[in-house]
């Protein structure tokens, strides 16, 4: 195949074929909140469930496409292209851009040479996480810590709340004026939540870890929310700074449980409060979190937003509007 001047694919179909082979659909589904169901997975397929009720079966044969089908919806099946479009409503061009970002390739597309290198690593079993993670970290380093943010203030988060020492460096702004919340795993920054007007995202090339406040290790109580904005809202509503806060960016999986156990093992935390949303997904998260923490020796309790509100930010904004 020939290349253009910017070294991208000249045949659009070739790039789509590369996406279908290169992107691990299990990892991609995880970024949408799906969690592996080990009891129903086999040596040739993986069953994954979503907190809102969807269940998909994913498989891949050697050097062929990753494919899936939904157990709940007969018409929902295909490759990573179909998976993304069905869950986002994106057109093909938007889907191409999203999948390039996921793989950490340039906006103009990926060169065939780079594609061959990455694919050969995948076939040989060598992880490409380091390459993707480097791209993610480059984006993270372009962001700056902030104690004020237009979007967060529009959501009711005050400058005085954002200025608290417990949030120092945990709230950032990128070049697109997105609010950015860094997640960490055992090795450091592993990804970040992104929030802005009519936009919620997670860094491409990164993995979900835990967003935490700076004081989390020395506190006796840990409050876990679905999003960093909910954690900030909880802090502002309660006014209690003698608490550690965490967010898992709306996804709970084995990785989340492992990181949480590691955090508990090196902290003074005696009680974990599950402050998830007041909906079916929140209940699903709470059930799995309780199962994960059952043997930790910590007290665990579920706490719902007041007055029947869906989440803590809804609760905060209702409180502000009443004053």
Look at residue 6 and tell me if it is in a domain.
Answer: no
Q: Which two tokens stand for residue 44?
A: 């040739």
Which range in 39-43, 159-163, 237-241 is most confidently predicted, on average pLDDT?
Answer: 159-163
SS3 241: coil
- Our count of domains for the chain comes to 2
Identify which of 100, 145, 93 has the alpha carbon closest to the alpha carbon of residue 118.
100
Give the Cα separation of 270 and 165 in Å (integer). 22
How much is the pLDDT for 125?
A: 31
What CATH number is given to the structural domain containing 31? Answer: 3.90.580
- DSSP character for 293? H
Q: Name which of 113, 131, 122 is nearest 9 in CA terms.
A: 113
Asked if residue 2 belongs to a domain, the reply is no
CA dist 146 and 143 (Å) reads: 9
What pLDDT score was predicted for residue 5? Answer: 35
Q: Look up residue 214 and give its two tokens.
A: 């700076």
Please answer whether residues 128 and 118 qualify as being in contact, where contact means their C-beta atoms are separated by less than 8 angstroms: yes
3 domain-assigned: no
How many Å from the N-terminal Cα to the C-terminal Cα in the chain?
Answer: 65
Residues 104 and 239 in one domain: no
pLDDT bracket for residue 179 (50, 70, 90): very high
Q: Report how far residue 35's alpha carbon sits from residue 250's, in angstroms, rounded to the nearest whole number.
A: 12
242-253 pLDDT per residue, tens: 999 999 887 777
pLDDT bin (cut points 50, 70, 90) of residue 200 is confident
Which of 141-150, 275-284, 308-317 bottoms out in mean pLDDT, i.e. has the lowest? Answer: 275-284
Work out the number of other CB atoms within 10 angstroms of the CB of residue 200.
13
Asked if residue 77 and residue 46 are part of one domain, the reply reads yes
pLDDT of residue 270: 95
Classify residue 101 by burial, with Cβ atoms within 10 Å: 0-12, 13-18, 19+.
middle
Give the percent of the chain with pLDDT over 90. Answer: 39
Compare 228 and 294 and report the one with higher pLDDT.
228
H-assigned helices in the chain: 12-22, 25-30, 80-88, 92-103, 112-124, 129-141, 150-154, 159-162, 228-238, 254-265, 280-293, 312-321
Quick: pLDDT tens for 9-49.
666 788 888 888 888 888 888 888 888 887 666 667 788 88
Give yes or no: residues 195 and 53 share one domain: no
Same domain, 172 and 295: yes
List pLDDT tens digits, range 65-87: 888 888 888 888 889 999 999 98
> Has residue 4 been placed in a domain?
no
> pLDDT tier at 223 (50, 70, 90 boundaries)?
very high
Q: Is residue 93, in this structure, part of any structural domain at all?
A: yes
Is 131 part of any domain? Answer: no
Q: Judge contact between 182 and 168, C-beta under 8 A.
A: no
Give the span between the Cα atoms of 204 and 87, in whole angstroms. Answer: 17
Q: Which residue carries 């943010």 as its tokens?
A: 149
Residue 60 is assigned to a structural domain of this protein? yes
What does the pLDDT read at residue 323? 63
Pair 81, 196 in one domain: no
C-alpha 178, offset from chain centre: 15
5 in any annotated domain: no
> By residue range, what is the domain housing residue 47?
12-126
Neighbours of 185 (CB within 10 A): 17
In eight-state DSSP terms, residue 174 is -
State percent of the chain over pLDDT 70: 84
Q: Are residues 158 and 307 in the same domain?
A: yes
Q: Are 152 and 162 in contact (CB under 8 A)?
A: yes
**Which pLDDT value is given to residue 247?**
93
pLDDT at 105: 59
Residue 198: its pLDDT value, please? 81
My answer on whether 28 and 173 are in the same domain is no
Structure confidence at residue 2 (pLDDT): 33
3-state secondary structure 1-38: CCECCCCCECCHHHHHHHHHHHCCHHHHHHCCCCEECH
Task: Report the DSSP beta bridge partners of residue 238.
Answer: none
C-alpha–C-alpha distance, residues 41 and 58, integer Å: 9
Any idea what the CATH number is for the domain that residue 278 is in? Answer: 3.40.1360.10
| pLDDT score for 127 | 35
Residue 300: pLDDT above 90?
Answer: yes
**Chain segment 127-136, per-residue pLDDT in tens:** 334 446 788 8
* Cα–Cα distance measured from residue 224 to residue 184, given in angstroms and rounded to the nearest whole number: 15
Tell me what pLDDT residue 204 has: 77
pLDDT at 116 (0 to 100): 43
pLDDT, one tens digit per residue, over 85-118 is 998 888 898 888 888 877 765 444 544 444 443 3
Is pLDDT above 70 for 54?
A: yes
Given a contact cutoff of 8 angstroms between Cβ atoms, the answer to whether 315 and 307 are in contact is yes
Which is more confident, 206 or 166? 166
pLDDT in tens, 263-291: 999 999 999 999 999 887 788 788 888 88
The helix/strand count (H/E) of the chain reads as 12, 15
Of the candidates 232, 233, 245, 247, the residue with the CA atom closest to the CA atom of residue 315: 233
């Amino acid at each position: 195949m020939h290349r253009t001047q910017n070294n991208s694919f000249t045949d659009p179909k070739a790039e789509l074929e590369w996406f279908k082979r290169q992107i691990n659909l299990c990892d991609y589904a995880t970024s949408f909140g799906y969690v592996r169901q080990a009891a129903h997975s086999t040596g040739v397929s993986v069953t994954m469930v979503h907190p809102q009720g969807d269940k998909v079966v994913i498989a891949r044969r050697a050097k062929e496409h990753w494919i899936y089908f939904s157990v709940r919806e007969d018409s929902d099946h295909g490759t990573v292209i179909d998976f993304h479009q069905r869950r986002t409503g994106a057109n093909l061009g938007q889907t191409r851009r999203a999948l390039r970002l996921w793989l950490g390739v340039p906006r103009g597309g990926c060169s065939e040479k780079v594609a061959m290198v990455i694919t050969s690593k995948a076939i040989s079993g060598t992880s490409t996480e380091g390459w993707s993670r480097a791209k993610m970290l480059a984006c993270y380093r372009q962001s700056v810590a902030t104690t004020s943010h237009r979007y967060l203030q529009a959501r009711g988060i005050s400058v005085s709340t954002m200025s608290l020492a417990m949030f120092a460096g945990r709230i950032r702004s990128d070049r697109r004026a997105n609010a950015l919340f860094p997640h960490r795993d055992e090795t450091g920054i592993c990804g970040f939540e992104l929030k802005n007007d009519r936009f919620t995202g997670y860094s491409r090339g990164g993995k979900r870890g835990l967003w935490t406040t700076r004081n989390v290790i020395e506190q006796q109580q840990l409050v876990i929310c679905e999003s960093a904005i909910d954690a900030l809202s909880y802090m502002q509503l309660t006014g209690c700074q003698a608490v550690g806060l965490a967010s898992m960016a709306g996804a709970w999986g084995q990785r989340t449980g492992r990181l949480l156990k590691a955090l508990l093992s090196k902290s003074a935390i005696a009680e974990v409060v599950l402050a998830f949303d007041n909906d079916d997904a929140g209940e699903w998260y709470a059930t799995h979190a309780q199962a994960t923490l059952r043997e930790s020796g910590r007290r665990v309790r579920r706490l719902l937003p007041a007055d029947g509100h869906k989440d803590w930010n809804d609760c905060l904004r209702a409180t502000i509007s009443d004053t």
